[in-house]
Amino acid sequence: MPLRTLSEVLAKAEVGGYGVGAFNVSDLNQAAAVMKAARSERSPVIVQAIAGMHPYEDEGWWWDRLRELVASYPDVEAALHLDHGRTFDDCVRAIDHGFTSVMIDASRRVEDDEPSTLEENIAATARVVEHAHARGVSVEGELGTIGGAEAGVSGTVEEIVFADPDAAADFVEHTGVDALAVAVGTSHGAVKFTTAEAGQRLRIPLIESIKARLPDTYLVLHGSSSIPADAVRTINAHGGRLDESYGVSTEQKQEGIAHGIRKINQGTDSHLTWTAAIREFLDAQRSVVEPSEAQGVAMRAMSGVVAQRMREFGSSGAGA
């Protein structure tokens, strides 16, 4: 089947009452791991990439190959999404390379990394929507400021600026976005919260209030990885130096889905799992020099955690 737009994938999720995982990938092996999980779980999936976050010299080449790989799974219902596009040009390039949806993150100004005004965010987002919709591409915007670090945006959990329901309604009315990432208590990056209690502070009533104002807009949860403790321990046991951290619990994410979240961004969990598998393998198999052996171990580990998230989000078995 052809690649789906974000709106097409999330429309089915809205009817079915489940969430769809959006998994960040930074090379072709990771993309293959995600697609393998989607096929095995018969789940819809959103594969997403961030401009500049890959090992390839030519980003256009990488994006073309990524689209080809995702499209090579005709039995999987998949969208190809640009995550955290910081500029209009980022989004235009992704559309030109066949992405079926783009996110314009105009919640912070590019020039100084400070939070944008609502008016600035609306103007930048509306420009992308006009360009993308004319080409049949879905658009995700962001309202409020999600803490942590993503795509070069540095911050801490204390810097979260929560989304306001009235501002959300105004934002959607004036931009026409298909999906909206809302700041409701999550945080980007591998170090999210320093206590388990902080990881339980997802503002469910705020999600419910925004959804009541925007019943036809698909809500998105960013910075919602769970930070698997076993992966962190494995990385540190084999030479890593990660601080202790707590993510968003599965139960909190499931409650968010029950109250209207439809797209759940997941990057840190799969990357931690990938790195843990490689570190453990190379430490145990010190004479191995064939890259495919370590890569294969990492791909299997990443597929496993992606499949687990699909089951937790309720999307397993919901694919075409």
Q: pLDDT digit string (tens) for 246-302?
A: 788 899 999 999 999 999 999 999 999 999 999 999 999 999 999 999 999 999 999
- What mean pLDDT is predicted for residues 75-92? 97
- Name which of 97, 122, 100, 264 is nearest 186 in CA terms: 264
| pLDDT at res. 158 | 40
Taking residues 14-23, report their average pLDDT: 98
- What confidence score (pLDDT) does residue 55 get? 97
What single-letter amino acid sits at 225? S
Q: Which residue type does 11 have?
A: A
166: exposed, middle or buried (C-beta count within 10 Å: 0-12, 13-18, 19+)? exposed
pLDDT at 196: 52
Segment 193-251, tens digit of pLDDT? 454 555 456 889 999 999 999 999 999 998 878 889 999 999 999 999 998 877 888 99
121-136 tens-digit pLDDT = 999 999 999 999 999 9
- Closest by Cα among 193, 230, 191 to 308: 230
The reply to whether 113 belongs to the active site is no
Separation between Cα atoms, residue 153 and residue 161, nearest integer Å = 14
- Orientation of helix 88-96 relative to helix 118-133, angle to 10°: 20
pLDDT for 146 equals: 58
Distance from C-alpha of 284 to C-alpha of 91, rounded to nearest angstrom: 43
Mean pLDDT of the chain, nearest integer? 90
Pick the catalytic residue from 27, 58, 75, 83. Answer: 83
Rounded Cα distance between 253 and 257, Å, is 6
Number of Cβ atoms within 10 Å of the Cβ of 156: 13
Q: What angle do CA 63, 176, 49 make, to 5 degrees?
A: 20
For residues 133-153, give the mean pLDDT. 75
Tell whether the model's pLDDT for residue 191 goes beyond 80: no
Instruction: Report residue 89 as tokens.
Output: 């040009």
For residue 153, what pLDDT is reported? 41
CA angle 100, 102, 108 (to 5 degrees): 180
**pTM for the full model?**
0.92
Residues 195 and 211: their CA atoms lie apart, in Å, by 29
* pLDDT the model gives residue 159: 52
Q: Is 8:101 a contact under the CB 8 Å cutoff?
A: no
Catalogue all structural domains in the chain, each as residue range(s) with its CATH number. 6-228+244-267 (3.20.20.70)
Residue 2 has pLDDT above 90, yes or no: no
From residue 79, give the alpha-carbon distance in Å to each of 99, 137, 154, 197, 299.
8, 10, 28, 34, 20
The sign one gets for the Cα dihedral 226, 180, 53, 23 is: positive
| Whole-number Cα distances in Å, 200 to 61, 184, 210, 222, 250 | 41, 11, 19, 15, 10
